[in-house]
Amino acid sequence: MKQKNFAICYNKQISHSIEVKDKLEKILLAHNIDAQVFDIDELKSECNFVFVIGGDGTILKAARFYAKFKIPVFGINLGRLGFLSQSGKEDIKLAVEKILNDEFIIEDRIMLKCGDYTALNDFVIKGCDTGRTSKFSLMINDKFVCDYLADGIIISTPTGSTAYGLSAGGPVLAPSLNVFVIVPICAHTLTARPLVVSDTEKITVCTEGQAFVSADGQESFEADKEICIKKSEFDAKLALLNETEFYSVLRSKLHWATPPSYISL
């Protein structure tokens, strides 16, 4: 493996993160690797491989930041689902050994942008009056598609298709696909269904007044009447130990196609 400048990013707001960070530091030091360490709120770019300790939210924030530097991130899960992570805290030693032996791949994940904001999972658009439905007009490449009377609209990447979009009735998309999915939230019609479009399309959502827009559920801003979303010029880079991991995660973490009686609650 070519020389790597490793970094460890952790989320001190998550229980046990400091303990896991210390464990990872010791494992790397045993391999004569002195990694720089910083909190998720103090991200630094003087590295070329980052271990990220936390939940999916922590990994999303780190992946967005490091995308513009083309730096891969490797997630160690301390959250509930850990859909973006590749290792649990119990498997860190094995994961480090595989990475040092170059037994991993780097998978590019397309992202969305809206103005100065970037999303790896999704942009969620809702009207100012969150207590009632709003009218959203959808345009693709400046051509009118339809009006939605709904609680909101989700514009999602394949990576984000297993997040809010899935709970709102959207499809699960393989992360390698170059597409976006548009999912209305509680649309007031039986004929409103999710749309899957090419990632080359420009998606515009028009509202009757101000709207609230959320990027990955972490950054929010207000927009006036017209919201333009398209593919980001940067791809997030996720370090993966197994290129088919996505499908095993569907089974193990989302209990895909498992009868309810077999799921341990």
Tens-place pLDDT, residues 190-223: 888 999 999 999 999 999 888 999 999 999 999 9
Residue 16 and residue 83 in one domain:
yes
103 and 156, same structural domain?
Answer: no
Residue type, 236: A
Q: Is residue 35, in this structure, part of any structural domain at all?
A: yes
Asked if 179 and 74 sit in the same domain, the reply is no
Contact 208, 135 (CB under 8 A): yes
DSSP annotation of 171 reads P
Q: Are residues 88 and 17 in the same domain?
A: yes
Q: Are both 122 and 167 inside the same structural domain?
A: yes
**What's residue 198's pLDDT?**
98
Residue 105 lies in a domain: yes
Judge if 220 and 239 occupy the same domain. Answer: no
* Predicted confidence band of residue 255 (pLDDT cuts 50, 70, 90): confident
Q: How far apart are CA 82 and CA 208, in angstroms?
A: 37
**pLDDT at 145 > cutoff 60:** yes
Helices (H) and strands (E) in the chain, counts: 5, 17
224 found inside a domain: yes
Mind telling me the catalytic residues?
A: 56
**Using only C-alpha atoms, what is the Rg of the chain?**
20
Residue 160: domain span = 112-231
What is the amino acid identity at position 119?
A: A
Residue 192 maps to a domain? yes
Strand partners, 226: 206
Residues 20, 36 within the same domain: yes
Pair 246, 190 in one domain: no
Whether 83 is in a domain gets the answer yes
Q: Say which CATH number the domain at 257 has.
A: 3.40.50.10330
| Per-residue tokens: 246 | 């996505």
Q: Is residue 1 part of a domain?
A: no
Instruction: State how many domains the chain has.
Output: 2
Do 102 and 117 lie in a common domain?
A: no
3-state class (DSSP) for residue 39: strand
Chain mean pLDDT for the chain: 90
Whether 37 is in a domain gets the answer yes
Mark whether 153 and 89 lie in a shared domain: no
pTM exceeding 0.75: yes
Q: What is the pLDDT of residues 19-45, one digit of tens each?
A: 999 999 999 999 999 999 999 999 999
pLDDT confidence of residue 224: 82
Same domain, 87 and 139: no
Strand extents, DSSP E, the chain: 6-10, 36-39, 49-54, 73-77, 87-88, 105-109, 112-114, 117-119, 122-127, 134-140, 143-150, 152-156, 179-185, 195-198, 203-215, 219-231, 236-240
Do 116 and 226 share a domain, yes or no?
yes
Q: What is the CATH number of the domain that holds 187?
A: 2.60.200.30
